[in-house]
Amino acid sequence: MEDLHYKLLKVLQANPDLSQRQLAQELGISLGKTNYCLRALIEKGWVKADNFRRSTNKVAYVYLLTPHGIEERARATVQFLRRKVAEHEALANEIEQLRDEVKHSLINIEEPTKA
């Protein structure tokens, strides 16, 4: 859920006037899950929902990150980056091990053991 909150904060900071439906499409999640996550961020005080005053659609909202929300987005960015770097390093190690296995297997195929 932390990754989803991070991504939602990131999208909202860049596009505060997106509708929940547009947010759902942008994040690749259901409208219900988007609504649930937005409510959670509003309850935490990270996001503030305001009506568009000049909009012809009076139920439209703009989702603004609060100062606390901006701090949390920065903190979440650091945590997200750390997780992705760790995943990258683990994957790089796994790839190197697989290359070694393939290299060793090819050597054994080319030079069969003598019985």
List domains and CATH numbers for the chain.
Answer: 2-110 (1.10.10.10)
Secondary structure of residue 47 in the 3-state scheme: strand
Residue 23: CB atoms within 10 Å? 21
Secondary structure of residue 50 in the 3-state scheme: strand
Q: Quote the Cα angle for 13-14-18, to 5°.
A: 90
Question: Would you state the pLDDT for residue 45?
Answer: 93
Q: What is the pTM of this model?
A: 0.66
Low-confidence ranges of the chain (pLDDT < 70): 52-59, 110-115
Question: Would you state the pLDDT for residue 17?
Answer: 87
What are the tokens at 11? 């999208």
Rounded CA-CA distance 12/61 in Å is: 12
Question: Would you state the pLDDT for residue 113?
Answer: 60
Question: Would you state the pLDDT for residue 3?
Answer: 85
